[in-house]
Each structure stands twice: as C-alpha cells, then as structure tokens.
Structure 1
Amino acid sequence: MPLQSATGGPATRSTPRRLAVVGTGYVGLVTALAFAEHGNHVRCVDVIPERVEAISKGRAPFYEPGVAEALARHVSEGRVAATTDTTSAVEASDATFLCVGTPSAEDGSYDLSQLRAAARDVGSALADLERHHVVVTKSTVTPTVNRQTVLPELEATSGKRAPGGFSLVSNPEFLREGSALKDALEPDRIVLGLMKGDDGAETLLREIYGPFDRPVLVTSLEGAELVKLASNSLLAIKVAFANEVANVAAAVGADGYQVLEGVGMDHRLGPHFLRAGAGFGGSCFPKDLQALAAFADSIDLPALMPRAALEQNQVQPGVVAAMVRTALDGDVEGRRVALLGLAFKADTDDVRETRALPIYSLLVGWGANVVCHDPRAGPAFERLAVQEGLPRPEIAPDVSSALEGAEAAIIQTEWREYRELGPDRFVSLMARPLVVDGRRALDPEKMRRGGVTYLGIGHPAP
C-alpha cells in the first residue's frame, strides 16, 4: 500500500471502546492508561499473576512518572482491569494490542517467543468469536515479522484468514522511558501499518485514536515496522555521532557542547539528540541497532551505520572511566570514587544496558573503591552487577554518603537531584573535589569558580 498522510481529528462516538492490551510492561501498561485517559475501558493481560494482582489493586509494577497516579485513578473508576485470561479479555473487546517484549536473541535479532505465544493465545480466543476483531501489534519487530510470523500464528490457532476473518495492524509505539505517559498521550505521529484493502481496521483505529488529535500515517505492515526500527536507530546513531564529535572537540581544546549546538542550529539537522554523554542504554536503542544489523545481514545488505554506533557506544564508558584514572595521576587503586546515577537515564528505575555498568566494571577492575547512588535504581543495579559476575556494589543511601571522602565523583545519570548540586557540596564532602560529568548535568564554569576540578565529556581540560 503506498504511503498516505492524513491528520486524525476528534472522533464522535456514543460509547467508549473496550480494548485489550496483552503485556503490562512499560509499553503495555502505559498504552492502556493512555487509552483509559480518553474514556476507553481496557483489560490488561499478563502471564505473571503477581503483576496482574498489583495492577488490579492499582499499584504500578515499575516506576515511571505519572503512571502510579493514573493507574490508581483508572482502576478505582473502573476503566482499567487486569487478568491472566487472554480469552476473556479478547472476547470482551473490539481490538487487542500486543505489547509483549521482543528482547535481543544471541544473534542480535529479536527473540519473538513472547510475541508468538501472545499471538497464539489471541488466535485461540478468536476461534469462537463471531464478530470481526482487530489485532494490533505494538511490539517492536523487524520488517516482515507481522506478515510472516504473527499472522500465521493467528490464522493457525483461530482457523480464520485475515483480513476477512480478523484484522492485523502494525501500530508501533514511540515512547521514551521517563516521559512515557506523556509520549503516549501526545505522540508526534500515529503510524498504522495495514494489510491491503483493510479499510475496516483503519476506520476503527482512526476512531480509537481520534481523541488524541495527532497526525496519522497509513502504510503497509512492513512500512510501519521499519518506521519504528529506523527511527530508534537514527536517534541512537545521532547520539553516537555526537559523542565522537565531543571527544574530538575536547582533544583539540574546543567545547564539544558548543560545537554540537552550532551543528544543531542548522534547520536541516536540528538539535535533538545531538548531546554528548557517557553513551546510550535502555531497552530500545542497543537492541534495535542490533536487530537492524541482523535483519540487514539476513537479506544480504550491509549494516555499517548501526554497527558503528554500537561500537562507539561500547567505547564511550571507557572514556569516562579513563578521565577519572588520568585525573587521579593514573592510579585509582584503593581510591574512593562516587558513581552517581545507575539507571540508564533519569526518571526511571530501568538499568537495562545502563552505561553505569561498564564504568563500574572498569573502575573496580582497576582496584577503585566505588560507592554508588541512584534515587530509584540502586537495588536493580545491585542485582544486575551480581548477575554479571561483578563485585556486589556498595549502594549509598543518599548523595552525601556517596560523596563523603571520595576523591572523584562521576555523574552518569542526570537526575534533577544531581543537577541541583552546588560546588559547595563537593568541596565540603569530598576528600578531593574532582567531578567527571558524563551528562553535562552541571555548569562547568560555576563548578570551577566554586573550587571543583570539573571534567566533562566534550569539555576541554582546564
């Protein structure tokens, strides 16, 4: 189907829609809450009974700004419910959204086992359903997965054929952890990948998304899949490029952030994601770059840029750790180093692919005494480090405890709590007020005027 562009407007409907959401991780639960905000009734499905129980009681199973409050409200008002029974949820709904995880497999492709299982369960529920039902895939996948994997599972277990017996739509999410609920309610665009001639599915989804009042792009199943994969990959590539430019800038005595600001002032490029730091992490960027590269390999095409971005991202934590070692006269053995920020980004407790882990690994490998702190992610990081075979990290209860007696402090996550630190805190608490800012969370000149030895990614040494 050729690309079409249109703007969805508010839809008129007499009653709210009843929707099912399979998978209650970041994407699934946030998607359910966004639909509930517009008056729909949503049944969340998960195979983990403890998670279903928590959601049923209005308790969020993870930290994400605004989610706990929205969930408690919608559960109490009867718009959100949770169950382990896929069949009952599908039978009671007009559309089912598949939001299960697609983690990386060993070869870099997506592990589709959860998606296959969800499709089989939904297909079984469709077998005895007399009315037409729309199945919507939000899980991130490579091109052809919906047509070649999800669709056969649905058809085999339902005994029906699409699009006549049911509809299959690719509707990727574009959520950022830390602002996921806002992104779900105010997306830049809504992408609908449809099977050819499936006007009924398009009509229903335009109605569901009408109240969001956002631009709608209609394309094929494969087109929608690739929009998501290409979007995340390009954002990650921009971050990796910004880091390389910042490293070069610092080496020649220029301010990398000023350089990148100048680049971003070009309207053809824009400033978004041209911000240097310790590298990217999380559940999306590394995974999606690997998946794009693996998919390109599978169709005999080169994947130079995704692999280059991944390689640069592996290098960047070493740049941060090396700055500490160099500043401490080339030897960190026995030296106390505060590592501030363990989540992969601020406003989340997610430590997947966090750059704090390789920084911690390098420092403890060199013999440093690393004391860690994070407002939310301390326990998760401790578990992750142990799982990776590293020494159990010391997690400080507060920032002051982490800084006390330290000879260096690294800011790895730009939590507001860290951005608001003044130079006096470092000077008064640390044995040596040396700060390596991996996120440009602090004002370099303010720090230096206050007596702090400030080093940062892309910032020339004093």
Structure 2
Amino acid sequence: MNIAIVGTGYVGLVSGTCFADTGNNVICVDIDKDKVERMRAGEVPIYEPGLKPLFDRNIRENRLSFTTDLKSAVEQSEIIFLCLPTPPGADGQADLSFVLQVAEELGEMITEYKVIVNKSTVPVGTADKVRETIASKTNIPFDVVSNPEFLREGAAVNDFRKPERVVVGTQSERAQKLMEKLYTPYLKSGNPLIVMDERSSELTKYAANSLLATKITFMNEIANICEKVGANVDNVRRGIGSDSRIGKRFLFAGIGYGGSCFPKDVQAIHHTAGLLGYDFKILDSVMKVNDAQKISLVPKVLQHFNGNIEDKMIGIWGLSFKPETDDVRESPSLYLMEKLVEHGAKLKAHDPEALETFQDAASDVVNENTEYVQTPREALEGIDALVIATEWQEFRIPDLDRFKKYMDPAVVFDGRNLFKLEDVEEAGIIYYSVGRPTLGLDEN
C-alpha cells in the first residue's frame, strides 16, 4: 500500500518506519527542511530502542522516504496519516491548529478518493472537524478515520508491531476494509482490530491514558499513607496486584508521571468535560496529586538538612520522564530540580540519553546551577546527597558501598524505589524512598 505520514515526530516516525517494514511504500512529510535532510542521510532524530535498524533497512530498500512536499506525497498515497502535534493550551485544551491547517491543505490537493487518518491524540469531535474542513475545499470523495496510537515510549517499536489491540473509528465500509488490510500483518496472533464510530475511538485514547494516570496516582497516594502509618508500599502493591481485577501493572509508587501523553491527555479530557458542564472530580484530583508528587522529595531533602540546603551539592540520576527515552516533557526532574535550586542547592546531573533535551527544556536558572555529566559516577563526585528521579536500568544495581566513598555520610533520596531495603541497610546508607521506611538515620 502507498502511505503518507504527515509529521515525523515520535508517533509519525515510529508508525511510518513500522508500516514500511511490512512492505508498504511510506513517504514521511515534515515542514522542517533540515530535519528531512538529516533523516534522508540516515539520522534518526529521536531516541527509541529498536527503531534505528528498521529505519536504516527500509531506507536502504526504498520503502521509506522523506519530503517537505505535501502535495507530492498526497498524490502518491491512498492513505494519509496525520501525526501532528496537538499541544495543550494554558487551559488544557488541545490545540488543533496544525491538524486543521493540514486538513485545509488536503482539501485543496486531493484529486481522487483518499482515506485521511487521525493518528494524533485529538479531542472528541475532531474527525468531524477535519471532515468539514476538507469538504469545504473539495467535492472529491474521501473518508476520515480515527486511529489512536497506544505506543509506550521506550517500547514503541514492539508496541506497534505487536499491538494488544488496534482501534479504528470509522462508519465507512470502504475505509474500514483499507484499514483492515493495512493492519493485518500486525494481528497474526489474534489480537483484535476493534471498529467503532469516530467519536468513541477518539474518547477511547483519552479514557485509556486517564485511567492509567489515575492508577499511578492512586498508588502514590497509598505510598504517602504508608509513610505516615509505617507500612511498606511494596508489600501493599504485591498484595493488591495479585488480584486479577486490579492487575500488576502501573502500581509502582514514585514521584509522579510525566511525558507527552498522560499529562496532556488528562488535561484535555478534563477540559472537554468542563466545556460540557461536567465536573470530572477524579481527574481534577489526579492532576493536583501528580503536581505535588513531582516535588515530594524536596521536603524530605530539606528536613534531612535541617531546612537549609544553601550551597549543598545534590547529585541527580535521571532527567527523562521515564527510562529508554530522551523525552523530558513534563519530567518530574524539571520540577524537582527547579525547587532544589530555589532553595539554594547546586546540582550535578546525569542521564544516559536526555542530557541535551533536558538542557533545552530546563529554565536558565536550573542550567546555570547544574553541572551536566556523562556518567553516574561523575554525578556522585563531591556531592552531599543523591536524588534518583528516573528508573534507568543502569541505576538499579550500583555498588552501594561505593556511595560512601563519595558521600560522608552517604545519603540517597530514591524517587523510584530502585533498591532493596535490605541491601541499603547492609550498606549502611541513609535512604529515603517513596512509601517505604526510611533507613540509616540512627547512624547519622
């Protein structure tokens, strides 16, 4: 099949590359000329495990190409995916200007039947708006389909190639048949392609991410209760996660969720509810709790240092919002480090992939008070305490005894509960985590 992908961000590039890898001819369109040239030269502009080999292979086999010429791509394609940004405004409403601008251009370009697919995460009713925008410019037949993505950063290639489900929102039999043909190679194991109306499809994406964000936030609330009553959230997690009605996933306590999906999607559905006159109380609480959770280690740091961290050197392990990505959008580290600097701390930070993207996103004040280093060991040198903000694999099994070589006493604030309590206790480290007992204070 011949496919155009409009927008080569995270969703567009992963989708285009994976579609090409099943034998389709894919043209990726972007307005950024420099980015297009870099991709033509073989550079993958995002970090995503497993993407580079597929990217290289499909360029080499002439199934994947890049252009700034939308009209040419549209003429050569039967299915056109809109993988465009829908950033939240100040009120949380998704900005559809990119999507509707391209829809208007498509209306002026199409000369034969096309299927236009919304792959971007968009509010309920967007398919109708896209359809109306295109129809205002042409009498050529076309269909608009909603096909939300459910990709996890750090596992996106596997998620795309082995989806748990594919959701297709359309009431057109012609469009449905094309989408079924396109996705057949990915559903060999029997996972479903679920067809529904466009509005239900659009809401499905928001509902899924909002429910997962709620699950994470609930466990963080439980963790906060654990700290007050002397319980261990790890034990609680195991106790409830074995219940098949609840499940084991998204029950790990920490310093909140971030990224490009959960914060934006929760805000968007909350805003939509408000426009409809509905008070979505649960999501209002989810957002408030998550905002507080991102900086929940700061009071612990201040308390440990008797309220004064002026000129203390704090090491930071982890800047991306989650491991296996360089994405720092809404990363807890952005907020945590801002607060530490506000209280006078100096920082030394390391991340395996996100050093550059973090510096681009961080405030000038944070960058001016932070030394960015290339290894976890460098982030330990000369510090008064270590904060762990992202659960990268390489942070999980460090030489805990070596912490005492760099810190006297060794103090760790673990926002992701990476270490076993018995290992920390044996090493003699002062250890604060989330929803678990604090260790080592008697030795301070």
8 Å Cα contact 1:361/1:390 also seen in 2: no
Structure of greater relative contact order (alpha carbons < 8 Å, 6+ residues apart): 1
- Residue pair 2:326, 2:353 contacting (<8 A) in 1 also: yes
Q: 1:415 aligns with which of 386, 392, 404?
A: 392
**2:419 counterpart of 1:438:** no
For the Cα contact (< 8 Å) 2:341–2:369, is it kept in 1?
no
2:185 to 211, 216, 230: 211
Q: Which residue of 1 aligns with 2:159?
A: 183
State percent identity of aligned pairs. 39
CA distance in 1, matches of 2:338, 2:366: 10
Give the C-alpha shift of residue 388 in structure 1.
7.6
| 1:233-290 residue CA offsets vs partner (Å, 9 max, x unmatched) | 1111111111010111121111012112211111111111111101100011111111
Q: Secondary structure at the match of 1:269?
A: coil
- Aligned residue number for residue 289 of structure 1: 266
Aligned partner letter, 1:262:
G
Alignment of 1:295-306 (within 5 A): 295-306=272-283
Matched residues in 1 for 2:234 and 2:102: separation? 45
Q: Helix, strand or coil for the counterpart of 1:262?
A: helix
Out of 74, 77, 80, the residue aligned to residue 64 of structure 2 is 80
| Correspondence for 1:146 | 127
Contact 1:63 1:348 in 2 (8 A): yes
- How many angstroms apart in 2 are the aligned matches of 1:408 and 1:355? 18
| Distance verdict in 2 for CA 1:336–1:301, change over 3 Å | same
CA–CA distance in 1 between the matches of 2:42 and 2:333?
32
Change (3 A) 1:388 1:408: closer
Q: What do residues 212-251 of structure 1 show as CA deviations (whole Å, max 9, x unaligned)?
A: 1131111100000000010011111111111010111121
Counterpart in 1 of 2:228? 251
How far apart are 1:144 and its partner, in Å? 0.8
* Cα displacement (A) at 1:69: 2.1
Distance apart, 1:392 and its partner CA: 4.9
Residue of structure 2 in register with 1:108 after alignment: 92
| 2:135 is aligned with 1:155 | yes
How big is the shift at 1:330? 2.9
> Cα deviations across residues 438-460 of structure 1 (Å, max 9, x unaligned)?
11122222122112222101111
Structure 2 counterpart SS, 1:399: coil
**1:134 equivalenced with 2:110 (yes/no):** no
Once the 2 structures are TM-superposed, how far is the Cα of residue 323 of structure 1 from its aligned partner?
1.6
Alpha-carbon distance between aligned partners in 2 of 1:124 and 1:66, rounded to the nearest angstrom: 37
Whichever residue aligns with residue 80 of structure 1, its letter is L
* Structural mapping, 1:7-26, within 5 Å: 17-26=1-10
Deviations 1:159-206 (A, max 9, x none): 34xxxx1111000000111111111111110001013xx101111110
Which consecutive segments of 4 or more residues in structure 1 shift more than 4 A? 387-390
Aligned residue for 2:269, secondary structure, equals helix
Aligned residues: 436
Residue type of the partner of 2:3?
L
CA RMSD of the aligned region, Å? 1.4
Structure 1 residue 294: Cα displacement: 0.6
Is the 1:344–1:353 contact (alpha carbons within 8 Å) kept by the matching residues of 2? Answer: yes
SS at match of 1:157: coil
- Equivalent in the alignment of 1:321: 298
Opposite residue 139 of structure 2, the aligned amino acid is G
2:51 aligned with 1:70: no
Distance 1:288 1:387, change over 3 A: farther
**1:386–1:392 CA contact under 8 A, matched in 2:** no
Residue 425 (structure 1) shift: 2.6
CA contact (8 A) 1:400 1:429 kept: no
Residue 147 of structure 2: aligned partner: 171
Tell me which amino acid in the other structure corresponds to 2:223.
A
Tell me which moved more, 337-346 or 367-376.
367-376
Contact 1:382/1:393 (CA < 8 Å) preserved in 2? no
Which blocks of at least 5 consecutive residues in structure 1 are unaligned? 1-16
Deviation at 1:123, TM superposition (A): 2.2
Q: Provide the residue aligned with 2:442 in structure 1.
A: none
- In structure 1, give the amino acid aligned to 2:170: L
Question: Which amino acid counterpart does residue 216 of structure 2 have in structure 1?
Answer: V
How high is the TM-score relative to the length of structure 2? 0.95
Query: What TM-score do you get using the length of structure 1 for normalisation?
Result: 0.92
| 1:57 has 2:33 as partner | no
Aligned 8 A contact 2:380 2:386 in 1: yes
- Separation of aligned partners in 1, 2:241 and 2:405: 38
Q: What are the Cα deviations for residues 93-115 of structure 1, in whole angstroms up to 9, with x where unaligned? A: 12011110100012211011111
CA distance in 2, matches of 1:328, 1:95: 59
Which of 102, 110, 123 is the equivalent residue of 2:107?
123
Specify every segment of 5 or more residues in structure 2 that has no aligned partner in the other structure, as ranges: 440-444
CA contact (8 A) 1:277 1:439 kept: yes
Taking the aligned partners of 1:399 and 1:424, their CA distance within structure 2 comes to 15
Distance (Å, rounded) in 1 between the aligned partners of 2:298 and 2:373: 20
Structure 2 partner of 1:14 = none
* Matches of 1:72 and 1:118, distance apart in 2: 28
Q: What letter corresponds to residue 46 of structure 1 in structure 2?
A: D
Per the alignment, residue 23 of structure 2 pairs with 39
CA distance in 2, matches of 1:242, 1:22: 38
